[in-house]
């Protein structure tokens, strides 16, 4: 039997490696199951993975869950400023009842999670470092994620929405002055060539995005027990790998920016608190307004120590 | 079925379907839907509208209709004629002034228009009759404009380059820069041939320069000034920190419409509707093909044909220049029949991994590919520019147009060879302006 | 072939149905052109607001994308009426008049088949987006049924025009593939 896994990432990307690892281990388990990977959006485009997955037209995917936030607004909580504090905290959130609630919603769409994982990110800018809310005032910023856009707007930034393929040129021409995305995306966009200052995810980090490996539930349920077992075992191993590598991605991005002579800035705990306060008044508030039972879900997420 | 055999079956079916007279976009959808239904089941058919939508769901696409409007707006005025007249008055010492000026005007006009037919029509409407009147051979006059028109997709802005940029996720700003020097080089090659062909026809008298007084030369300047201002405005917007490449297209369209309305008195609502109608027609046609080619590419990827062909070619381990020659041959044949947009979108997923493995520069390759597509525009059986010339110069037979264009195809081959020998012609400028890759 | 700029005379139908359909697709041709102009204005507004006023541009990029998708699909029928969809007529040119007529029917029916399929499934997609209240996952978050609506509508218009073309072919108003017999 063959399962099709589609994602948007290049073969060198960590998220591809996680998928590849699961595919390799399942193949090695000799349970008559192969996973065929379609990387780099070669089957479905970046933001178009969730729908075919939930309809069973696609078997598996690795995807930033907030991309499906238009269909399930609850998912927007998986990319909220300040909700996750560190990779260790992310691991605890993954095991919490909050994620159980997200899983329940996924199940409603006939989707289930195999590998959980968060990636961190930061800010890069072409003039002045960004550590606290005042730093973005009057700047044109492109943020990854609705919650971040709302928070940055509340901080007085102008939000520019543009495709990721245009960010490099836009930064180069100063159409954009700052960018907020994941550590690995910074490097794959080669932004170290342009940036003047980089605020990475370090001991204090603001930006975490949930990017799990998902499978269609019906497809999974139809597999033979030994195939399911092999898939689960491979996924558990991949999850541990994902967590370890996610931490290294942050350090690797710092190295890349340092090597390019870019100034590295650090966010302090006070900066973080200021951002979070701003987020509470903007994006958290908006979330609670948009989502029925939003407050309950938010409280569940915030209660994870 | 083995994906490679399936690929062969898809190729044969596609050729038969597309030659049947069905529109290219619908033909691609028909082949894609049939193969998905047979080899993937009905669940894939449900996906077609989503894929269709997703393929148009990109801001970059906006630049296609915008660059088409730019060209159409200016082409509807007599700006094209002003352009070659001005060039001729200034190039008094150059032999073959008029044909050289027409080619120069094509190159300049190309800097305002993203499409080739518009460039052809804009310069040819006045240029061809004028050249005939002055005694240039019909073949040279028609061929020069047909070939000069193809510069529309090499000299930026270029719809072909935008489509390539979308398909390969490369920077459109950089692609545009890569086309400039090769575009100028090709213009020079065209000019060289046009002068030689006129001289060979024995009618050397037309080659001797006419003289214009200084007054005559300066008198015409105000008429081409707006033209140059628009070009500068577009370049400033694109590379000067105002807007992204896609956004610039809208600025350019507005500037060209304003220029047509204020300076060339395109007041008449009927004339403005004419511009919008022609651009809508061309852009709907192109975007429909883009979306359909996207569905076709989905079918090819879903049935693992794309990946298998790429792996197969990569496994051949041929010399990279032999590979490049084969790719060129393939593009050339595809370009004979299909519009550039369809060729690029259908082949990019297969070609990109191969090119990357063989370490060819994607920006350099974009130029090579564009020149191949230019050949397709002036060769039978489907040569858009030939039909444009046929409709703007009905007194020249299609045979003469064809024979007159053939040597310009030779110039394009020469350009490809030169670019293979000196790749820096395409890569130097983008590296200079935007930094190395 | 039908070149997008070459001026091929468009043969208007005499039949009342054909005339009604062509009036409708022409009207949507205007709409498509108008949507393109709106996209142009919105883009310029976005550049101005961002570069000169330094304000956020939340909705413009997405709105422009949807405008262009709508312009494309709603314009399909009109461009079909104008014979603006490029085709390669190698086989029709090589055939005799009878075989060419048969092929013309086959091509039109195949086109109608594919378009019906897309019209049907895109209506299905629109319906889902409407029922489940899907939104775009951006800050602006417009309901997706609005841009999705352009697809069933556009392909519906395209279908109508194709049926009108079938009538024109059957009544002899237009020769197969527009190729006049010599
Ligand atoms: Na051009
Ligand atoms: Na051709």
pLDDT tens digits, B354-408: 888 888 999 999 999 999 999 999 988 778 888 888 888 888 988 899 999 999 9
Indicate if the pLDDT at residue B78 is higher than 50: yes
pLDDT band at C182 (very low <50, low <70, confident <90, very high): low
Average pLDDT over residues C62-76: 96
B229: number of Cβ within 10 Å: 12
Taking the Cβ of residue A161 and every Cβ of chain C, the question of whether any pair is shorter than 8 Å is answered with: yes
- Residues A100-116 have pLDDT tens digits of 999 999 999 999 999 99
Which H or E run includes B259?
Answer: helix B245-262
Chain-wide mean pLDDT for chain B?
Answer: 89
Is the pLDDT reported for residue B415 higher than 90?
yes
* Residues of C (156-175) whose Cβ lies below 8 Å from B: none
- Is A109 near chain C, with CB under 8 Å? no
Please list all protein residues whose beta carbon sits less than 5 angstroms from ligand 2, which is an ion.
Answer: B 336, 376, 379, 382-383
Instruction: Label residue A90 left, alpha or beta by phi (over 0 means left) and psi (-120 to 50 means alpha).
Output: alpha
pLDDT of residue C11: 61
Query: Residues C88-100: pLDDT tens digits?
Result: 888 998 999 999 9
Q: How far is C74 from chain B (nearest CA, A)?
A: 9
Please indicate whether residue B387 or residue A65 has the higher confidence score (pLDDT): A65
Q: Which ligand is nearest to the CA of B384?
A: 2
* Token representation of residue A246: 């996610």
At residue C5, the pLDDT reads: 39
Reported as type and span, the H/E element at residue A178 is: strand A178-182
What's the N-to-C CA distance of chain A in angstroms?
Answer: 42
DSSP letter for each residue of B54-67: HHH--GGGGHHHHH
Q: Which of A248, A244, A211 is nearest to A49 (CA)?
A: A211
User: From CA C64, how far away is CA B60, in angstroms rounded?
Assistant: 10
Q: Do C137 and A160 touch (CB under 8 A)?
A: no
Residue found by looking up tokens 């070459």 in the block: C6
Using DSSP, state whether A261 is helix, strand or coil: coil
- Report pLDDT for C72: 97
Q: What is the pLDDT of residue A154?
A: 94
pLDDT digits (tens, 9 = 90+) for C19-44: 999 999 999 999 999 999 999 999 99
pLDDT of residue C7: 41
- Report the C-alpha gap between B380 and B384 in whole angstroms: 9
**Which of B55, B59, B281, B390 to mutate against chain C (most C CBs within 10 Å)?**
B281
Q: What is the percentage of chain B residues whose pLDDT exceeds 90?
A: 46
What pLDDT, on the 0 to 100 scale, is given for residue C4? 38
Beta carbon pairs, A and B, within 8 Å: 61
* B189-208 residues touching C, CB cutoff 8 A: none
At residue B265 the predicted structure's pLDDT band, cuts being 50, 70 and 90, is confident
What pTM was computed for the model? 0.93
Residue C13 has pLDDT above 80, yes or no: no
Q: How far apart are CA B101 and CA B92, in angstroms?
A: 10
* Cα(A166)–Cα(A42) distance, integer angstroms: 20
Q: Measured over all CA atoms, what is the biggest interatomic distance in chain A, rounded to whole angstroms?
A: 58
pLDDT over threshold 60, residue C48: yes
Q: Which of B257-271, C37-51, C75-89 has the lowest mean pLDDT?
A: B257-271
Nearest bound ligand to the CA of residue B162: 1
On whether any CB of chain B is under 8 Å from the CB of C144, the answer is: no
Question: In sequence order, which residues have a C-beta less than 8 Å from that of residue A136 and are 6 or more positions away?
Answer: A130, A152, A155, A156, A157, A178
**Tens digit of each residue's pLDDT (9 = 90 or more) over B29-64:** 999 999 999 998 888 888 999 999 999 998 888 999
- pLDDT digit string (tens) for A20-60? 999 999 999 999 999 999 998 889 988 889 999 999 999 99
**Alpha-helix residue ranges (DSSP H) falling in B20-96:** 24-40, 42-45, 48-56, 63-75, 79-90
The string of pLDDT tens digits covering residues B220-244 is 888 888 888 888 888 888 877 778 8
The answer to whether residue A193 scores a pLDDT higher than 90 is: no
Cα C115 to Cα C157: distance, rounded to the nearest angstrom: 10
Q: What is the DSSP letter of C57?
A: B
- The residue-averaged pLDDT of B322-349 equals 88
* Spatial CB neighbours of C22, under 8 Å, sequence gap ≥ 6: C12, C13, C81, C161, C164
**Rounded average pLDDT over C109-122:** 97
The sign one gets for the Cα dihedral B369, A166, C45, C51 is negative
CB burial of residue B427 (10 Å; 0-12, 13-18, 19+): buried
SS3 A215: strand
Give the lowest-confidence range in A2-11, A44-53, A184-193, C111-120.
Answer: A184-193
CA distances from residue B239 to A81, B58, B236 in whole angstroms, order as listed: 34, 21, 5
């Amino acid at each position: 039997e063959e399962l099709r896994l589609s994602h948007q990432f290049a073969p060198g990307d960590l998220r591809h490696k996680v998928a590849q690892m699961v595919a390799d281990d399942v193949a090695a388990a000799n349970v008559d199951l192969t996973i065929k990977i379609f990387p780099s959006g070669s089957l479905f485009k970046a933001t178009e993975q969730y729908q075919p997955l939930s309809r069973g037209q696609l078997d598996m995917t690795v995807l930033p869950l907030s991309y499906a936030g238009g269909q399930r607004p609850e998912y927007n909580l998986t990319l909220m400023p300040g909700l996750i504090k560190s990779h260790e905290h992310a691991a605890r959130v993954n095991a919490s009842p909050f994620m159980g609630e997200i899983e329940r919603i996924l199940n409603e769409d006939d989707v289930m999670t195999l590998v959980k994982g968060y990636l961190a990110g930061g800010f890069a800018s072409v003039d002045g470092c960004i550590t606290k809310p005042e730093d973005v005032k009057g700047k044109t910023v492109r943020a990854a994620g609705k919650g971040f856009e709302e928070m940055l707007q509340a901080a007085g930034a102008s939000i520019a929405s543009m495709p990721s393929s245009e960010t490099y040129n836009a930064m180069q021409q100063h159409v954009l002055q700052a960018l907020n995305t994941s550590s690995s995306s910074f490097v794959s966009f080669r932004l170290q060539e342009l940036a003047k200052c980089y605020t990475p995810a370090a001991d204090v980090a603001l930006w975490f995005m949930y990017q799990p490996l998902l499978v269609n539930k019906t497809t999974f349920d139809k597999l033979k027990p030994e195939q399911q077992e092999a898939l689960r075992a491979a996924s558990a191993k991949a999850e541990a790998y994902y967590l370890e590598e996610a931490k290294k991605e942050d350090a690797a991005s710092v190295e890349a920016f340092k090597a390019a002579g870019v100034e590295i800035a650090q966010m302090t705990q006070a900066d973080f608190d200021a951002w979070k306060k701003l987020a509470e008044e903007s994006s958290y508030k908006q979330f609670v307004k948009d989502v029925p039972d939003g407050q309950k879900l938010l409280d569940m997420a915030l209660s994870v120590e | 079925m083995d994906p490679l055999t399936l690929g062969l079956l898809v190729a044969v079916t596609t050729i038969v379907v597309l030659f049947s007279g069905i529109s290219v976009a619908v033909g691609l959808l028909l082949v894609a839907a049939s193969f998905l239904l047979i080899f993937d089941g009905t669940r894939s058919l449900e996906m077609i509208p989503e894929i269709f939508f997703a393929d148009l769901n990109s801001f970059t696409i906006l630049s296609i209709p915008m660059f088409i409007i730019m060209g159409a707006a200016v082409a509807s005025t007599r700006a094209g004629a002003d352009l070659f007249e001005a060039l001729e008055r200034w190039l008094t010492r150059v032999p073959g002034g008029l044909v050289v000026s027409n080619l120069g005007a094509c190159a300049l006009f190309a800097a305002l228009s993203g499409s080739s037919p518009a460039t052809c029509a804009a310069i040819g409407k006045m240029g061809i009759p004028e050249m005939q009147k002055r005694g240039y051979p019909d073949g040279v006059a028609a061929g020069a404009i047909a070939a000069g028109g193809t510069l529309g997709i090499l000299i930026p802005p270029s719809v072909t380059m935008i489509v390539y940029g979308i398909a390969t996720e490369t920077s459109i700003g950089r692609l545009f820069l890569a086309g400039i020097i090769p575009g100028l080089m090709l213009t020079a090659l065209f000019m060289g041939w046009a002068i030689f062909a006129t001289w060979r026809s024995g009618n050397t008298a037309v080659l001797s320069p006419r003289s214009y007084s200084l007054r005559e030369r300066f008198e015409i300047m105000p008429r081409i000034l707006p033209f140059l201002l628009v070009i500068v405005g577009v370049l400033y917007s694109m590379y000067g920190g105002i807007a992204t490449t896609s956004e610039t297209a809208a600025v350019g369209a507005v500037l060209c419409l304003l220029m047509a309305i204020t300076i060339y008195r395109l007041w008449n609502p009927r004339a403005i509707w004419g511009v919008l109608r022609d651009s809508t027609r061309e852009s709907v046609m192109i975007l429909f093909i883009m979306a359909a080619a996207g569905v076709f590419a989905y079918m090819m990827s879903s049935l693992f044909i794309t990946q298998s062909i790429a792996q197969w070619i990569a496994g051949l381990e041929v010399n990279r220049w032999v590979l490049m020659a084969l790719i060129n041959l393939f593009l050339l044949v595809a370009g004979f029949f299909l519009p550039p947009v369809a060729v690029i979108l259908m082949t990019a997923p297969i070609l990109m991994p191969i090119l990357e493995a063989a370490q060819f520069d994607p920006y350099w390759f974009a130029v090579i590919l564009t020149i191949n597509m230019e050949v397709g525009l002036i060769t039978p059986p489907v040569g858009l520019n030939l039909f444009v010339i046929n409709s703007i110069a009905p007194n020249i037979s299609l045979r003469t147009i064809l024979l007159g264009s053939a040597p310009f195809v030779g110039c394009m081959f020469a350009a490809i060879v030169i670019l293979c020998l000196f790749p820096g012609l395409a890569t130097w400028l983008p590296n200079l302006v935007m930094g190395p890759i | 072939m039908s070149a997008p700029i070459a001026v091929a005379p468009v043969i208007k139908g005499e039949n009342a149905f054909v005339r009604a359909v062509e009036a409708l697709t022409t009207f949507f041709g205007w709409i498509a052109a108008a949507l393109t102009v709106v996209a142009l204005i919105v883009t310029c507004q976005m550049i101005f607001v961002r570069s000169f006023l330094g304000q956020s541009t939340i909705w413009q990029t997405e709105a422009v994308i949807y405008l262009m998708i709508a312009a494309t699909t709603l314009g399909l029928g009109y461009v079909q009426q104008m014979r603006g969809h490029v085709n390669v007529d190698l086989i029709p040119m090589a055939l005799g008049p009878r075989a060419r007529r048969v092929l013309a029917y086959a091509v039109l029916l195949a086109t109608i088949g594919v378009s019906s399929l897309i019209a049907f499934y895109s209506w299905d997609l629109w319906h889902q987006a409407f029922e489940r209240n899907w939104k775009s996952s951006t800050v602006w978050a417009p309901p997706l049924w609005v841009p999705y609506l352009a697809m069933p509508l556009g392909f519906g218009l395209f279908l109508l025009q194709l049926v009108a073309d079938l009538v024109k072919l059957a009544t002899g108003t237009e020769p197969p593939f527009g190729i006049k017999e010599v």
